Structure 1
Amino acid sequence: MCSKLLGVTLLTTVGLLSDNLQAKPLSCHQHFKQLSRVIETNYAGYADHGRAWITAEERKISERIEYEPTSDCYSLLSDWLTIFKDPHLTITQVKDPNMDNGRLSISASQPNIRWLSETVAYLAIPNFELSNRSTLLSLIQRHAEPLKKMEGLIVDIRGNQGQSFIVMMELFRLIETNNYQSRWHVLASKANRSYYKRLLQRFQYDNKPELESMYSNLVAKMEAYPNTWVEYRWPIAHPDNALPDLKSIYILTDNAVANAAEEFVIAAKTNDMVTVVGARTRGSLDYGEVVTHSLGDDDYHVFVPSQKRVWYQYGPIDNKGLSPDISADTNGDQIINDTYDLILSKKK
């Protein structure tokens, strides 16, 4: 009887020890090793940096982790990511109270049109959140008749961090582009392939045939050529209806404009009617389509760009941005009034 009780006690003790071992959190060094593997395997910008240089930087962080045990691990991991100088490549603590699902919360302001006169429209696009696509399409449709008589258009993208290319492309229902191309190379890693498959399923579910076709072809190429570079391009956009009276288009920018919003500026600038007013943009377009990776027991979320832009003009622009044609104070509404005056002066 005693031996049986002893056996049960030993088994229970071993079980508790096993549970404790499993529950033990990862060390900072283990988190860093995971982070390093995630970046090397999935980051579209990894190959743009020398391997020897990256290894040397890894060694520096490893030494800091070893010799500065009281240092904040999150800060050390963040410091290492900064060596790539990619504003898209970031890491957050999942339980950070200042974060929402691992990303900084973004205002959900919706697009809106305001008529400054019978022939001059002001279109504000605070962000390119995918949820705003239907709102933008509805807005354009609702103002279809007055838009046909429009002579001047002000597009305000100040503060727009460019969340979705899909929403950005809808603006070209109003603005015609000339020889504009947006080409990207996607790294077909296992995690990236899974991500693009989920995107494809989403567009199939939402019944978006043009996007389904583009992503279907991309996923097929990624499956056919795993762990290599696969090229794709966004379809060339054309206006739904001719705007025969439109003579001038002004785009308002500031230092927060980034990613798809910068892509919009580049595309729009192929139209001779477009003038950019405001301040230099942020410079965050060399890489894109961020995929979220977890470290440890969901201790950290790492946001890793899965693709890089193929530049034919303008770029690279990361941390440089796009300069405006006319510099102006971007705070408040005065920039809108001044731009409206520019449109009126052209009509005289």
Structure 2
Amino acid sequence: MSYRLTHASYLLLMSSILLPQNVQAVEDTVPMTSAECLQDIDFTAQFLLENDAGIQAQKWTAYPESIQHVLNTQKEKAAQVQTVKQCQDIAKPFLQAIRKGHVSLSSRSMEDYVQTSSTPQEDDLVTTKKLSDSTTYIFIPSFGLSIKDQLEKIIKNNQDNLLNAPYLILDLRKNAGGQDSSAEPVYKLLGKAEYWSEIPQIYTSPTNIQAYKDLQKVMPDTETKKKLGEIINKMEHNKNDWVYIEGNTSLFVDKIKKKDVLANPKKVVVLTDEDCGSSGEEFVKTVRQNPRVVTMGRNTYGVLDASNLRDIKTPSTKLSLWYATSYVHRRAGQEIDNIGIPPSIKLPVPKDQQAYDDEVKFAQMYLEKNL
């Protein structure tokens, strides 16, 4: 069985929206000199111009005047830096001027991410709830490496009647991303369908080729290593150019066939908001093609066109620069970066936690009362 986005299922699409609090606490105490910070920012600016896929897609050879102004302004503040966190705060406006996400300076390396996300974290657990005899709710906090196994176990156990419920609510409002393959089990819950996706292209600078080789070394399974090897081979034969992650065409179609379907709900609501990004957005973009699915909430975060992040240590070695190695060249007007994906049914920004929680009740009422 081939699932949607098999061409990217083995690649990390980690979102840079949120950083765990324990990591932030460490950064608050790690010392950094002003000279180290300035060196790291200069390195970051030049490295991104040469290697970031989002920037290469814009064909910048230098930063636009407005972005260069932000960079110059922030560099002047480096003289006051005493910690890693302060340096990150100074660099952030410059990075956000480039793009809303999928570019960051972090104390976490990709190897750290692979190791920690392979094990379920306390705040990264899939939960379900039987809201009624008709509706089952599934909260998917991310698409980290551990999520696929969690989903498969929940489905196998038919937890909270999710295989038989006429209606499903998939809550992705806090789903900041991960990797596309973690979402694969969910598609079997949505009935027979056909999904089209644009295939990302990787920018094949020598540094990016090495980054994929480094990723191949730390990935835990042989299948992933093999897939990465195929990509690396293609990149090495097309240096300083663009190559599709799989094949040589811009579109990919995947069909969920009847024999592979595990559930046939009448209707499915997918809850989204501005905290849903990266692989979370990829899932939303894909499932909204399914006639059973209705998206509800607010625009997603808007970090998907430039993706497939890799990292490199800055000169100080105290930070890792996360940047995009791939880009989806979408048709004009269909870009997602800095915009997000609008829902089919738009809900106002909740004024408090109760209003936020009530969105689930509204989704249930919408499904059960056929609003």
How big is each residue's C-alpha offset from its partner over 1:6-60, in whole Å with a ceiling of 9 and x where there is no partner? Answer: xxxxxxxxxxxxxxxxxx9855554343223321232111223454651756864
Tell me which residue corresponds to 2:239.
226
Determine the C-alpha separation between the residues in 1 that align with 2:167 and 2:286.
18
Alignment partner of 2:52 out of 33, 43, 57: 43
Secondary structure of 2:156's counterpart equals helix
Instruction: State whether structure 2 residue 195 is matched by structure 1 residue 183.
Output: no
Identity across the alignment (%):
19
Matches within 5 A, 1:11-160: 26=35, 29-49=38-58, 51=60, 54=63, 56=65, 60=69, 64=73, 70=79, 72=81, 74=87, 75-92=89-106, 94=107, 108-143=123-158, 146-160=161-175
Q: Which residue of 2 aligns with 1:238?
A: 256
The structure-2 alpha-carbon separation of the partners of 1:219 and 1:341, relative to structure 1 and needing over 3 Å to count, comes to same
Whole-Å Cα distance in 2 between the matches of residues 69 and 280 of structure 1? 35
- For the 8 Å contact 2:163–2:189, the answer to whether it is kept is no
Deviation at 1:253, TM superposition (A): 1.1
- Measured after TM superposition, the shift of residue 179 of structure 1 is 3.7
Alignment partner for residue 283 of structure 2, among 264, 279, 297? 264
- What is the CA-CA distance between 1:87 and the residue it aligns to? 1.4
Q: Residue in 2 aligned with 1:294?
A: 313
1:314–1:340 CA distance, 2 compared to 1 (3 A): farther
Query: How many residues are paired up?
Result: 313
Q: Which amino acid in structure 1 is aligned with residue 210 of structure 2?
A: S
Distance 1:128 1:169 in 2: 10
Q: CA RMSD in A?
A: 3.5
User: SS of the residue aligned with 2:53?
Assistant: coil
2:34–2:78 Cα contact (<8 Å) kept: no
How far apart are residue 62 of structure 1 and its match?
7.6
Unpaired runs of 5+ residues, structure 1, are 1-23, 96-100
1:11 corresponding residue in structure 2: none
Q: Using the alignment, how far apart are the partners of 1:242 and 1:47 within structure 2?
A: 40
Counterpart in the other structure of 1:19: none
After TM superposition, the structure 1 = structure 2 runs for residues 189-338 of structure 1, keeping only pairs within 5 Å, are 189-202=205-218, 205-207=220-222, 209=223, 211=224, 214-233=227-246, 236=254, 238=256, 241-242=260-261, 245-311=264-330, 315-328=334-347, 331-338=355-362
Distance 2:170 2:235 in 1: 36
Q: Give structure 2 stretches of 5+ with no counterpart.
A: 1-32, 247-251
Would the aligned equivalents of 2:40 and 2:316 in 1 still touch at CA under 8 Å? no
- 1:345 — aligned with what? 369
Question: 1:42-95 deviations in whole A, cap 9, x for unaligned?
Answer: 211122345465175686478658876735483554343233124111224x49
Distance (Å, rounded) in 1 between the aligned partners of 2:341 and 2:239: 34
Secondary structure class of the residue paired with 2:79: coil
How far apart, in 1, do the equivalents of 2:234 and 2:281 lie?
27
The amino acid across from 1:38 in the alignment is: F
Q: Deviations over 1:313-334 (max 9, x none)?
A: 9731122112222223554432
| Alpha-carbon spacing, 1:326–1:47, altered in 2? closer, same or farther (3 Å) | same
The structure that has the greater radius of gyration is: 1
| 1:338 maps to amino acid | F
Kept in 1, the 8 Å contact 2:49–2:60? The answer is: no
